Structure 1
Amino acid sequence: MREEQGGRQRWVVLAVGMAAMTAGCAFQFGLPYLIPALRDGGLSLGQAGLLAACPTVGLVLTLTAWGAAADRWGERWVLASGLGVGGLVLLGATAVRGTVGLGVCFLLAGAAGASAHASSGRLILGWFPARERGLAMGLRQTSLPLGVALAALLLPPLAVHGRAVALAVLGALSVGAALLVVLFVRDPARPEAGTGAGAGNPYRTLVLWRLHGAATLLVVPQFTVSVFAFVFLVDERGWSPSTAGPVLACVQVAGAGARLAAGRWSDVAGSRTGPMRRLALTASAVLAVLAVGAFAHSVAATAALMAAGVVTVSTNGLSFTAVAEYAGGAWAGRALGVHTTVQNAVAAGVAPTAGALIGAAGYGWAYAVVVAFPLVAALVTPVRVEAASRPTPPRGGRIAPESGLR
């Protein structure tokens, strides 16, 4: 009975953590859907774009600090306080008129809401045993596309009634998520000092650095494909915008499914990095087909683009799970903060760099260049370290919650 109650509790924690991260992502990554309303308020496209980027800047600046706070004081109050403060800042932003003032509000709200990225992943490490953790982290990773989808649905119609209304709803979502965390989330049992994967500084070996590096390399093809997929279909393949949009929305849904499937695969295989390496090699092969199709102006490029949109996002949950498991309970928050910070910093530079390459040489060369990134990621991924050091499961196949990559 106690085990059954614990099983229900951890899925409740996951559901609330996903809701919290979805609410945070709706603002942090969905603000571009307010750009038309910001321009109607007298801002130039450049000014509106800069405001839309402010939450991501705040996110990058504070992720590691929030992770360290979760390691020290626990996930529940760190997650709730960050989302609550971020929501209150957004509610206050409804009364701000100047561009600079709005930018400061968006920066501060993004910095506060970053707590969701570090704490929600750490909750999964503590609450879920290794046999379920890959699937749970895959579910957690779907919060980002869910948040963007929520923003796409809510913000354009709300902006018709004024920018302040849209910001008020975003703020209310964050405050509401914070209240849910306070009511329903409980911190998992913390590891005793000197035990588990968190004993000592995990950065003294190369394993975490290799995990960060491999996952960051995989960000490059992911964003190269996703950022320019719509424009490629419209400009190069002659699709209408009304057709390309829904099709790419289906690709996003399929990508979320691929994250879940990869997580479940890793649970069954007892390895995060083995499936991660195989998916990286698959992504490289698909990108090669995409590049050849783009050079030849072939219909194969369209099919390869859809496949690339799915496979390039499939490893996201695996890398987060591997990082959390190797870092252990004492370091997981900081390690996940570093992981997300590096990925977001690199992602911010992908769009302008890939856009410049496409403008100068065309889509074929851009896709051909990024073929190398998942290949290198596959080489960097520390599969042998995991295989050599994974503890042998006790009788019955159950693995202790803190076990995993070493």
Structure 2
Amino acid sequence: MTAAETVPRGGGVRPDRRAYGPRHRWVVLAVGVGAQAAFAAMFSGIPVTGVSMRAGYHLSTEALGLVLACLGLGVAASDIVWGLLTDRFGDRRVLLTGLSATGALLAVMAVAVTPPDGAGVALLALCLALAGALGGSVNGASGRAVMTWFAEGERGFAMSIRQTAIPVGGAVGVALLPWLAGSYGFRAAYAVPAAFCLAAAAATWRWLHEPAPPDPGTGPAAPASGARPRGGAAPRPEVADDRSPLRRWDVWRLALAGALLTVPQFAVLSFTAIFLHDVKGEGATLAGITVVIAQLGGGAARIWTGRRTDRTGARRTHIRAIGVLAALAMAGAAALTDAPTPLTVTALALGGLLANAWHGVAYTEIAAMAGASRAGAALGLLGTTLFAMGFLTPLLIPMVIAHTSWAAVWGLAAAASLLAVPLAPGEARARR
């Protein structure tokens, strides 16, 4: 094997123009961030168009909940499959396929699945489910790229940066898509995220490559960066377990805890606009500001927790702590439902921020538990549980509203966060 050849994960040797050394890991991270942000702009932005979507497509609140839930259903149904395909064929092929297909689908929606085209609930729900299923490819593929290129001492930081692309890209979508839908219609609201996905696919084609192969006789290659945790601590070795991550209860515990922590995230993301419109008489602007604060604040918190856990290794402790804090914030939102609007909005923004803060640490931990060679399957499992809850939450909330109140909605989100705390495996179990 020459220095100008790289080994695709699907097996075999393919020629390349150059070998990509350790510094290229930051380029790979940037590509992963772009891919994740492009999908997040669509995934987070479309639900915040809920008021315009409900009026334009003539939907009831229950039908709107079903339509929005299909985004999460699509990701949940496909994420494990994408993860297994990533382990088999590699990050580059999966990202190119998923991003290109998502961009093409959104372009078709811009042309033929808008209110002037007479699109109904069934067609809209189907298209959003497909968009989620195709776009979900970015979760495992970009995460496995980070695991491949970064060593243990930098993985938490790198994965948190990648995960921060979700709230940052989501904030762009939240700020942009409701305005586009209200001012220019849903053709523009679908065309812009289509362009984002196609641009991310082009960046993937140009810059996402494999690490340089090891020199002959040196043994298996280490992750590209070779970094060690700050403070002199030795990197924590990956768990030596030959079982598939899909057959390990500790991996499932972390994935299910993440699903419970997702409830307040999707509650704030999907229904803040409806709550403020129906209960407080506010327009989409205040809802957009609330969700953007939650998204951007959550992104900053992800980076902080990633850097901190690279030093301490206590990822699971941080996940549990965030669960407690998110439960307290959402309980505050429940108690303040009928309070003056600034107080209610503050509690919702804080709850949404905390509900967005744990993802980078959880994705890093579950990938490390599985090992780099099986990280795609583990990341796919986490994505499946998260987005399955993302499907169920928008379906459940209208039922809760119909039979109880909005205070019960935010209280349910608080309870889910609190239940995640004992379910997440502790640090002592991880060391054993």
In 2: Cα distance, 1:104 partner to 1:364 partner: 31
Whether the 8 Å CA contact 1:32–1:49 is kept in 2: the answer is: no
2:301 matched residue in structure 1: 258
1:73 matched residue in structure 2: 89
2:32 matched residue in structure 1: 17
Does residue 119 (structure 1) correspond to residue 141 (structure 2)? The answer is: yes
1:186 matched residue in structure 2: 209
2:150 matched residue in structure 1: 128
SS in 1 for 2:356: coil
In 1: Cα distance, 2:390 partner to 2:350 partner: 20
Unpaired segments ≥5 residues, structure 1: 390-406
Note the 1:290-369 alignment, pairs <5 A.
Answer: 290-294=333-337, 303-369=346-412
Q: TM-score, normalised by structure 2?
A: 0.75
Say if 1:104 and 1:237 are closer, same or farther in 2 by CA, change over 3 A.
closer
Whether the 8 Å CA contact 1:79–1:178 is kept in 2: the answer is: yes
In 2: Cα distance, 1:89 partner to 1:368 partner: 37
Moved more, 22-31 or 336-345: 22-31
Cα deviation for residue 147 of structure 1 reads 3.0
In 2: Cα distance, 1:201 partner to 1:233 partner: 45
In 2: Cα distance, 1:329 partner to 1:387 partner: 17
In 1: Cα distance, 2:400 partner to 2:278 partner: 16
Task: Output one character per residue of 1:151-173: Cα deviation in whole Å (capped at 9) or x when no partner.
Answer: 34544565555654554443332
Say if 1:98 and 1:359 are closer, same or farther in 2 by CA, change over 3 A.
closer
In 2: Cα distance, 1:93 partner to 1:215 partner: 31
Task: Output one character per residue of 1:84-138: Cα deviation in whole Å (capped at 9) or x when no partner.
Answer: 2222333344553563666655544433222111201111111122222222222
Does residue 278 (structure 1) correspond to residue 321 (structure 2)? The answer is: yes
Cα deviation for residue 325 of structure 1 reads 0.9
Residue from 136, 143, 146 that aligns with 2:165: 143
Task: Output one character per residue of 1:218-264: Cα deviation in whole Å (capped at 9) or x when no partner.
Answer: 11233334444455566667877655543543233212211222222
1:45 matched residue in structure 2: 59
1:84 matched residue in structure 2: 100
Note the 1:193-272 alignment, pairs <5 A.
Answer: 197=240, 199-230=242-273, 242-243=285-286, 245-272=288-315
Q: TM-score, normalised by structure 1?
A: 0.79
Whether the 8 Å CA contact 1:287–1:367 is kept in 2: the answer is: yes
Whether the 8 Å CA contact 2:31–2:204 is kept in 1: the answer is: yes
Say if 1:282 and 1:55 are closer, same or farther in 2 by CA, change over 3 A.
closer
Whether the 8 Å CA contact 1:287–1:308 is kept in 2: the answer is: yes
Cα deviation for residue 371 of structure 1 reads 3.5
Say if 1:43 and 1:138 are closer, same or farther in 2 by CA, change over 3 A.
same
Whether the 8 Å CA contact 2:298–2:354 is kept in 1: the answer is: yes
In 1: Cα distance, 2:179 partner to 2:332 partner: 39
In 2: Cα distance, 1:43 partner to 1:225 partner: 22
Cα deviation for residue 69 of structure 1 reads 0.8
Cα deviation for residue 276 of structure 1 reads 1.0
In 2: Cα distance, 1:124 partner to 1:77 partner: 15
SS in 2 for 1:30: helix
RMSD: 3.6
Unpaired segments ≥5 residues, structure 2: 1-19, 214-219, 222-237
Say if 1:167 and 1:216 are closer, same or farther in 2 by CA, change over 3 A.
closer
In 1: Cα distance, 2:65 partner to 2:417 partner: 30
| Letter of the 2:28 counterpart | V
| Letter of the 2:138 counterpart | A
In 2: Cα distance, 1:369 partner to 1:123 partner: 36
2:229 matched residue in structure 1: none
Moved more, 13-22 or 255-264: 255-264
1:64 matched residue in structure 2: 80
| Letter of the 2:374 counterpart | W
Whether the 8 Å CA contact 1:325–1:332 is kept in 2: the answer is: yes
Moved more, 353-362 or 111-120: 353-362
Say if 1:375 and 1:210 are closer, same or farther in 2 by CA, change over 3 A.
same
| Letter of the 1:121 counterpart | G
In 2: Cα distance, 1:233 partner to 1:68 partner: 41
Moved more, 264-273 or 198-207: 198-207
In 1: Cα distance, 2:49 partner to 2:350 partner: 30
In 2: Cα distance, 1:115 partner to 1:19 partner: 13
In 2: Cα distance, 1:239 partner to 1:11 partner: 42
% identical equivalent positions:
34
Cα deviation for residue 80 of structure 1 reads 1.1
In 2: Cα distance, 1:53 partner to 1:238 partner: 24
Give the length in aligned residue pairs.
382
Cα deviation for residue 15 of structure 1 reads 0.9
Say if 1:34 and 1:374 are closer, same or farther in 2 by CA, change over 3 A.
closer
Moved more, 296-305 or 361-370: 296-305
Say if 1:360 and 1:134 are closer, same or farther in 2 by CA, change over 3 A.
same
| Letter of the 1:22 counterpart | A
